[in-house]
Amino acid sequence: MDIKKINFKEKKYVLPLLALPFLFLFGYVGAQFVKEDTSEKDKPKELSISLGDTQDSIMTKNDAYDAFFKKRG
């Protein structure tokens, strides 16, 4: 088949040529989403080994009540 004999105005040739740029656009956008997801997975999560601040002595109920209102006031 010679290229001069192909009628590019026929529907079977025009529709794929119109759809091709959109397919490339969707492929590019999809690749951007995949690239963002892999960058987050590569970072290792850091473990927290601290248990928080603790007090040396256990306070009584009245001491805790007094300490609570001293912080607010």
What value does the mean pLDDT take over residues 45-64? Answer: 78
Q: How far apart are CA 35 and CA 28, in angstroms?
A: 11
**pLDDT grade for 71, boundaries at 50, 70 and 90:** confident
> Is residue 55 left, alpha or beta, with left meaning phi > 0 and alpha meaning psi from -120 to 50?
beta
pTM metric for this prediction: 0.39
Task: Locate the domains of the chain by residue range.
Answer: 1-42
Number of residues that make up the chain: 73
What is the pLDDT at residue 55? 62
What is the pLDDT at residue 24? 95
Instruction: Give the list of residues 6+ apart from residue 59 with CB closer than 8 angstroms, or none.
Output: 67
Two structure tokens written together for 29: 């956008």
**What's the chain's Rg over C-alpha atoms?**
34
pLDDT in tens, 5-42: 888 788 888 888 899 999 999 999 998 888 765 455 56
Cβ 16 vs Cβ 24: under 8 Å: no
